[in-house]
Amino acid sequence: MTSALERLRDLPEAFTFAGFCKLSRFSNNAASVCLRRWKEKGLIEPAGERAKIYFNKLRSPEVDSALRVAALLFEYPSASLCCESVRHAAGWIPQFRA
For the chain, the structural domain boundaries read 4-89
CB 56 within 8 A of CB 14: yes
Query: What would the pLDDT profile of 1-58 be if each residue is shown by its tens digit?
Result: 568 788 898 898 889 999 999 999 999 999 999 999 999 999 999 987 888 899 999 8
CB 8 within 8 A of CB 43: yes
CATH topology of domain 4-89: Arc Repressor Mutant, subunit A (1.10.10)
pLDDT of 60 > 90? The answer is no
Q: Check residue 81 and give its pLDDT.
A: 62
Banded model confidence at residue 85, pLDDT cuts 50, 70, 90: low
- Predicted TM-score (pTM) of the model is 0.71
